[in-house]
A = this chain, B = another copy of it.
Amino acid sequence: MLFHVRMDVRIPVDYDPQRADELKRIERERAQDLQRQGKWRHLWRIAGQYSNFSVFDVSDVQELHDIISTLPLFPFMDIEVAPLCRHPSSIHDDDR
């Protein structure tokens, strides 16, 4: 079950840099772990932005929410979620 997610990170310019770095470090570990598990299928940087487009592959909506809402940078992010399904013109039965 695929979901398209856009995340825009906004860290206040006067936020403590050490805490920010620590949050980013844990976020990276978390993201890489989820990628290795196959939950976070795609993760692209949007050029020129502190933002990403991602595709998540989860068993249900609850799992999607649990993943996103426990990311260390979640309180700093604007997030848009769109459920995806097979496009009738896709050549793949299952485009992950």
Q: Which chain A residues have a beta carbon within 8 Å of chain B's beta carbons?
A: 1-5, 11-15, 27-28, 31-32, 35-36, 42-50, 52-53, 55, 60-62, 64-65, 68-69, 74-76, 79-92, 95
Contact B68 A85 (CB under 8 A): no
Q: Is the interface of A mostly helix, strand, loop or mixed?
A: mixed
User: Once bound together, how far apart are the Cα atoms of A82 and B85, in whole Å?
Assistant: 14
A49: which B residues are within 8 A, CB to CB? 79, 81
Are the C-beta atoms of A89 and B43 separated by less than 8 Å? yes
B87 touches A3 (CB 8 A): no
- A70 vs B13: C-alpha distance when bound (angstroms): 15
When C-beta atoms are compared, the residue in chain B nearest to A51 turns out to be B82
Q: Is the CB of A75 within 8 A of B11?
A: yes
What are the residues of chain B within 8 A of A36 when measuring CB–CB?
91
B89 lies within 8 A of A32 (CB): yes
